[in-house]
A and B are shown apart, each in its own frame.
Chain A
C-alpha cells in the first residue's frame, strides 16, 4: 500500500511509514508498547488480536527468584484509575526463559522488551545476564521503581547514587540497550534520570505507579491487603506528562513516556513532551483491545493536528 501512496504528488506517507520510530537503535513499527505488568507474556491478548501490530511490549516484571507477591485484595478502584499491589508476582527468570519465552515466541515475532526487577545489585545483574542471552529480547527495561515490594526495589529508584549503581551493574553484563524505569515517587525526577544517563543508561522510561491507597467505608480498613499500592490510569496522565517533559529536558537519551495513556491523542501529547515512544498500562486491563485501537486511531489523529510523521514530534 505504501508504493501507491508514494507515487502521488505531495505524498502523504503511508500510515505504516508515518508511525515508525527508532528506540535505542531498533526500529519500531509504531511507538505503542504495552507496559509491563498489564500484558503478561502476551498470550491473553494474542487470543483476541494479532499482537504483532504492536511496536513491541514489555513483559511481566521478572526477578531472579520466583515471587508469589502480596496477599489479596491486590486491586482497588479509584476515579479514572486503579490501584494495584500485586508485588511483582512472577515465576522467576529461570522459568520465564524455559517456559514463558518459548510460548511468547509462538505469538509474537518481534524483539520484546524484558522487564527486570531486583533487590540487590547482584540480583539485577544476574537476571539481566541471563536475559541478555535470549535472542528475542531487544531491550532490558530495568525497574527500579516498584512501590509494592518491601526491602529494596524502591530505594534504588529514589536515590540517584543507587540508581546509577544499578545502571552500571546491568550495563556490565549486557550489550543490549538498557532502559531504566523510574519511579515518580521522588522530589527531583530529572536528577534521577541524569544519574542513570551518566552511568551509561541507553534510555529512560517513566512513570511507574504513584503510591496511593483506599479505605473501605464499611470496614474502616484499607482495601488493599498491602495497605498501599500504585495508582495508574488516566488520573495520573498529567503528572506523568509533566515528569516526562522534565526528564526530556534533562537527558539526551531516548525517553519512553507512560502513565495513564488511553487514546491516540494521549500518545501524541506524550510525544510532544519529548517521548520517543510510549507505554500503555492500565488501559489494557479495562479494554484488552486498547493498544490495537490506539494504533488504528493514530493516523487520523495525526491528520487532525497536521503531523506527517510521528517521529517529528519529540524524540531524539
Chain B
C-alpha cells in the first residue's frame, strides 16, 4: 500500500452512468492487474474502492460506475483536481496460472480490472478470449480496447440490444486453460457453476478501510476467513464456499 496524491487528467462519460478517469502521479504502489485504489472524497468519511483499468508509467486509468452519492461526486470532479489515493490494494490476479488459453469473463463494472490483465497476458504472447457482458446497448464500453489488444472479444447484452443476447456464460467457449472473472454476484455464481476449469474470481464487499485493518469485509472461504480487501479481492475457485 502507498498513499499518493493523484491528479485528474481526464474524467469523461463512457456509457450509461459509467466514467473513465485518467490519473497521474506516483502510481508505483500499483503492482498487479486486479488490484484497486481507495479514493478519499471531500465530505465522505469512507473512501471509495475502484479497480484499476490500466496502468502506465506515470499514471492509471479507472473505469467506474456512478451508482451512489460517493461515485456520483467522483463523476463531477474535473481535470486538474487532486485525489488522495491509497494504491496497490488487494492481491490481484495470479498471471502465472493462465496457461495457454486463458478466458476472461467480465460483467458490467466487473469488466475494467480484466483489461490490464488482458494486456499483460497478450504481452506474454497468449491468445486471450474475453467475454464482456452488459445489460443493454447503452451500457457497453471497452469492447474496442479489448479488440485492439487482439483478444477474441465477445459481447453479450441481457436484452439482446447489442452483441449476443444473454449472459457471459452463454457466449463463453467450451474450454479454456484457466479463467479470470469479475462482475455482479449472480453472474459470478453462474460462472462458478458452469465452468469446468480452474479459475479466479474477483469479489466485492462493502469495505471500511480497504487495507486489511478493520475486518469489515471478511467472508468465509474453504481456507478460513478472508478479508476481501487484503487477502482478496481475488479468490481461487476452489476457495469459494458457494452451494452447488
Please, which residues of chain A bring their CB within 8 A of the CB of B207?
75
Within 8 A of A (CB), among B197-222: 205-209, 211-220
Please, which residues of chain B bring their CB within 8 A of the CB of A282?
45
Question: Given the complex of chains A and B, what is the CA–CA distance between A89 and B213 in angstroms?
Answer: 12
Q: CB of B126 within 8 A of chain A?
A: no
User: Would you call A286 and B218 a contact (CB within 8 A)?
Assistant: no
Q: CB of A69 within 8 A of chain B?
A: yes
Q: CB of A76 within 8 A of chain B?
A: yes
Within 8 A of B (CB), among A245-291: 282, 284-289
Q: CB of A130 within 8 A of chain B?
A: no
Of A48, A80, A233, the most chain B CB neighbours within 10 A belong to A48
Q: How far is the CB of B233 from chain A (nearest CB, A)?
A: 13
Within 8 A of B (CB), among A64-100: 68-69, 72-82, 84, 86, 89
Our pick among B70, B211, B216, B219 for the contact of A84 (Cβ within 8 Å) is B216
Q: CB of B46 within 8 A of chain A?
A: yes
A279-309 near B? 1/0 per residue, CB < 8 Å: 0001011111100000000000000000000
Question: Given the complex of chains A and B, what is the CA–CA distance between A39 and B215 in angstroms?
Answer: 10
Our pick among A86, A233, A234 for the contact of B216 (Cβ within 8 Å) is A86
User: Would you call B208 and A89 a contact (CB within 8 A)?
Assistant: no
Question: Given the complex of chains A and B, what is the CA–CA distance between A44 and B229 in angstroms?
Answer: 12
Question: Given the complex of chains A and B, what is the CA–CA distance between A286 and B217 in angstroms?
Answer: 15
Q: A48-B2, A285-B208 are in contact. Are A89 and B217 (CB under 8 A)?
A: no
Q: How far is the CB of B70 from chain A (nearest CB, A)?
A: 8
User: Would you call A288 and B209 a contact (CB within 8 A)?
Assistant: yes
Within 8 A of A (CB), among B31-69: 40, 44-47
Question: Given the complex of chains A and B, what is the CA–CA distance between A38 and B225 in angstroms?
Answer: 18
User: Would you call B3 and A82 a contact (CB within 8 A)?
Assistant: no
Number of A-B contacts (CB under 8 A): 94
User: Would you call B2 and A73 a contact (CB within 8 A)?
Assistant: no
User: Would you call B209 and A284 a contact (CB within 8 A)?
Assistant: yes
Question: Given the complex of chains A and B, what is the CA–CA distance between A223 and B86 in angstroms?
Answer: 25
User: Would you call A47 and B1 a contact (CB within 8 A)?
Assistant: yes
Of B3, B207, B208, B230, the most chain A CB neighbours within 10 A belong to B208
Question: Given the complex of chains A and B, what is the CA–CA distance between A69 and B215 in angstroms?
Answer: 9
User: Would you call B209 and A74 a contact (CB within 8 A)?
Assistant: no
B148-182 near A? 1/0 per residue, CB < 8 Å: 00000000000000000000000000000000000
User: Would you call B213 and A72 a contact (CB within 8 A)?
Assistant: no
Interface residue tally of chain A, by bracket?
A: 35 or more
User: Would you call A288 and B86 a contact (CB within 8 A)?
Assistant: yes
User: Would you call B47 and A45 a contact (CB within 8 A)?
Assistant: no
User: Would you call A89 and B225 a contact (CB within 8 A)?
Assistant: yes
Within 8 A of A (CB), among B95-115: none
- Which secondary structure characterizes the binding site on chain A? loop
Please, which residues of chain A bring their CB within 8 A of the CB of B211?
44, 288
Smallest Cβ-Cβ distance to B214: which chain A residue: A285
Question: Given the complex of chains A and B, what is the CA–CA distance between A81 and B46 in angstroms?
Answer: 8
Question: Given the complex of chains A and B, what is the CA–CA distance between A77 and B41 in angstroms?
Answer: 13
Please, which residues of chain A bring their CB within 8 A of the CB of B215?
37, 40, 60, 69, 74, 86, 89
User: Would you call A81 and B45 a contact (CB within 8 A)?
Assistant: yes
Please, which residues of chain A bring their CB within 8 A of the CB of B217?
72, 74-75
Question: Given the complex of chains A and B, what is the CA–CA distance between A289 and B217 in angstroms?
Answer: 21
Question: Given the complex of chains A and B, what is the CA–CA distance between A150 and B207 in angstroms?
Answer: 23
Please, which residues of chain A bring their CB within 8 A of the CB of B47?
286
User: Would you call B40 and A233 a contact (CB within 8 A)?
Assistant: no
User: Would you call B205 and A84 a contact (CB within 8 A)?
Assistant: no
Please, which residues of chain B bring their CB within 8 A of the CB of A48?
1-3
Smallest Cβ-Cβ distance to B209: which chain A residue: A285
Smallest Cβ-Cβ distance to A34: which chain B residue: B213
Please, which residues of chain B bring their CB within 8 A of the CB of A288?
1, 3, 86, 209, 211, 213
Q: How far is the CB of A131 from chain B (nearest CB, A)?
A: 20
Question: Given the complex of chains A and B, what is the CA–CA distance between A185 and B197 in angstroms?
Answer: 52
Q: A68-B225, A73-B206, A89-B225 are in contact. Are A285 and B213 (CB under 8 A)?
A: yes
A-B contact pairs, 9 of them (CB 8 A): A40-B213, A43-B212, A72-B206, A72-B216, A74-B217, A75-B214, A282-B45, A288-B1, A288-B86
Listed in ascending order, the chain A residues whose CB lies under 8 Å from chain B are 37-40, 43-45, 47-48, 60, 68-69, 72-82, 84, 86, 89, 223, 233-234, 282, 284-289
Given contacts A84-B214, A285-B214, 13 further A-B contacts (CB under 8 A): A38-B213, A44-B213, A45-B213, A47-B1, A68-B225, A72-B218, A75-B207, A77-B46, A78-B45, A84-B208, A84-B216, A223-B206, A284-B209
